[in-house]
Amino acid sequence: LAKTTQPISMDSYEGQEVNITCSHNNIATNDYITWYQQFPSQGPRFIIQGYKTKVTNEVASLFIPADRKSSTLSLPRVSLSDTAVYYCLAKAAGNKLTFGGGTRVLVKP
C-alpha cells in the first residue's frame, strides 16, 4: 500500500509562498498525485493533480521529480483565506487510494 507522509503543520505570512512536500513510496507507476484543500466542517476540495515534472493552474503549482517518490505543492502569495489543511493523495496498486496525514497551514497577517 502506498504510504504518504507530509508535515503536520506550517505557518506562513500573507503574500509569501508556501511549499508543502509529500513523500509517497510504492506509488503505482501509472498513477497521478493529487492535492486537496479542506476547511473545517467541509469536504476536501481538489486543488491540483499531476503525473510528473511540473503542473500549474490558477491557484497552485505541483512539482514532481523524476523518481515520483515525492511531490511538492506550491501556493504562491498566500492570503488569510488559504488557511486550511492540505492533503496529498496517491494511489497504489489495486486502486487503493491513500491520503497523507494532512498539513495544517496557518497564514498570518
Partner 1 sequence: DSGVTQTPKHLITATGQRVTLRCSPRSGDLSVYWYQQSLDQGLQFLIQYYNGEERAKGNILERFSAQQFPDLHSELNLSSLELGDSALYFCASSVDGQAHTEAFFGQGTRLTVV
Query: Under the rule (CB under 8 A), what is the footprint of partner 1?
Result: 28, 30-32, 34, 36, 41-46, 49, 51, 87, 91, 94-102
Query: Based on CB atoms, which residue is closest to partner 1, 16 or 55?
Result: 55
Query: Based on CB atoms, which residue is closest to partner 1, 63 or 99?
Result: 99
Residue 79, SS3 per DSSP: coil
Smallest Cα–Cα separation from 49: which of 98, 88, 105? Answer: 88
- The DSSP annotation for 10-67 comes to EEEETT--EEEEEEEES--TT--EEEEEE-TTS--EEEEEESSEEEE-SS-EEEE-TT
Cβ at position 43, least distance to partner 1 in Å: 3
Query: Based on CB atoms, which residue is closest to partner 1, 81 or 95?
Result: 95
Cβ at position 42, least distance to partner 1 in Å: 7
Q: In whole angstroms, what is the distance from residue 34 CA to residue 90 CA?
A: 7
Cβ at position 15, least distance to partner 1 in Å: 28
